[in-house]
Amino acid sequence: MNHLIVASQNGGTGRTTLSVNLSYALASRGRRVVLIDADPLGGAGFSLSTKASTAQGFYDLALDRDIDRVRVESLLLGTRLPEFKFLPAGHAAQQPAIMDRLDQEPDLQDRFRAIFTAASDTSLGPDVVIVDTPAGVRGLPYRLMRSGSHLLLPQLAHPLGLRTLPVMLRALAQLRTGQGKEAPMIAGVVLTMVEPGVPVSLEVQREFRELLPGHMFFDAQIPRDREFLQASQAGVPIALLQRHPSATAFIFDQLAAELESRLALNNPGHENEFTRLMD
């Protein structure tokens, strides 16, 4: 099962933007996707649906411990793409100090895994479950990281991203030490908030590639673009912001294609069925 945890050591990396737009791009390519909003702030929900703020969801399941396929399926929200469903953060995410409360639960990681597994077993039969997480690598975010099969790591193409990278590297080392072969695999690193042609951004990109193995990086890079603000305000993926998607929107299609290869997803549909142009 592909349970992809989108995690970063600091805020402002575009985790939610990445999670929402990558999910949409994969679904547009015929992949079946469940996106889970595991950030108590509920950013993914605000980016997708007005229903998300009043719907039950991920943290209600985690606190109630009422976790099974039927229960999870009943909480999934549909989208305009039948291949794409969404589990919002839920009512419980709005409780004060929810992260501190959950961090005291001894079996929380098992509950997270149970939710991800139940989401994989729903009638949609998703190819991948994508999980948007809160910033950080300690406490609740770390438990979410431990509960996945793969990690997708957006990294800020900014000096702050470089300065905080050791925090993520220590967390990854701890995961490997604590879980051994059961530790999540790294699907890859995505550079975000990239500013093409800006010397500081170019220098940061170069330093990242000197610090980490080249194979860890996706070719697709997410630029700093005001269209993301417009899409978030409109509550749509960036590909739906205009009738003709912009070049930035196609970056997520490129990223989705790379991820398909890294997760070894099978070709969707029937390989030998074709749509004729005429007749």
pLDDT tens by residue, 266-275: 765 544 455 5
Averaged over 120-134, what is the pLDDT? 97
Which two three-digit tokens encode residue 15?
Answer: 């985790």
d(CA 184, CA 145): 8
* pLDDT at residue 98 in the model: 83
pLDDT exceeds cutoff 90 at 244: no
pLDDT exceeds cutoff 60 at 156: yes
Q: What pTM does this model have?
A: 0.92
* pLDDT at residue 268 in the model: 56
d(CA 10, CA 18): 15
pLDDT confidence band for 279 (50 / 70 / 90) = low
Query: Which tops the pLDDT comparison, 178 or 201?
Result: 201
Averaged over 240-260, what is the pLDDT? 92
d(CA 3, CA 43): 19
* Domain assignments of the chain as residue spans, ordered by start: 3-262
* pLDDT at residue 271 in the model: 47
d(CA 242, CA 276): 28
Query: Which tops the pLDDT comparison, 185 or 242?
Result: 185
Averaged over 157-161, what is the pLDDT? 93
Averaged over 102-111, what is the pLDDT? 86
pLDDT exceeds cutoff 70 at 262: yes
- For 39-84, the pLDDT digits (tens) are 998 888 877 777 777 889 999 999 888 899 999 999 999 998 999 9
Query: Which among 89, 85, 118 is positioned nearest to 102, based on CA atoms?
Result: 89
Averaged over 172-190, what is the pLDDT? 89
Averaged over 199-217, what is the pLDDT? 94
Q: What percent of the chain has pLDDT over 70?
A: 95
* pLDDT at residue 65 in the model: 81
* pLDDT at residue 270 in the model: 45
Q: How many CB atoms lie within 10 A of CB 11?
A: 13
Class of domain 3-262: alpha beta
d(CA 74, CA 56): 10
Element (H, E) at 6: strand 3-6
- For 11-42, the pLDDT digits (tens) are 989 999 999 999 999 999 999 999 999 999 88
Averaged over 219-232, what is the pLDDT? 91
Highest mean pLDDT among 81-95, 122-136, 174-188: 122-136
Q: How high is the mean pLDDT of the chain?
A: 90
